[in-house]
Amino acid sequence: MIEISTDELKQKLNMIISHIEKGEKCIVIKEGKPIAEIAPLENYTPSWKRRVEKITLPNGTSVQDYVEAERNC
């Protein structure tokens, strides 16, 4: 685990990010007190890659089918 001051973090951000990418955590120190922890994300999937359930209308029609039918009218 890395401990780093806010001033040093500003100067060495790229280096710290490299360590975090490798799995290390970083504690940010301001005026001698820890104020934040920067840690790598675990099992992160961007929202645009997440699987979403199909939405159906009360009559059982999928929203996708409904929209396509409306476009063809």
- Would you state the pLDDT for residue 50? 82
The pLDDT, as a whole number, for residue 14 is: 95
Give the domain CATH number at 5. Answer: 3.40.1620
pLDDT for 49 = 84
Our count of domains for the chain comes to 1
What is the pLDDT tens value at each position of the chain, 73 positions in all? 899 999 999 999 999 999 999 999 999 999 999 999 999 998 888 888 888 788 888 888 888 888 998 898 7
Cα separation, 62 vs 20, whole angstroms: 43
Q: Is residue 68 part of a domain?
A: no
b/e string for 38-70 if b means 16 or more Cβ within 10 A?
beeeeeeeeeeeeeeeeeeeeeeeeeeeeeeee
Distance CA 26, CA 12 (A): 12
pTM above 0.95, yes or no: no
Q: Residue 22 is part of which domain span?
A: 1-42
Does a structural domain hold residue 57? no
49 in a domain, yes or no?
no
Whole-number pLDDT of residue 47: 83
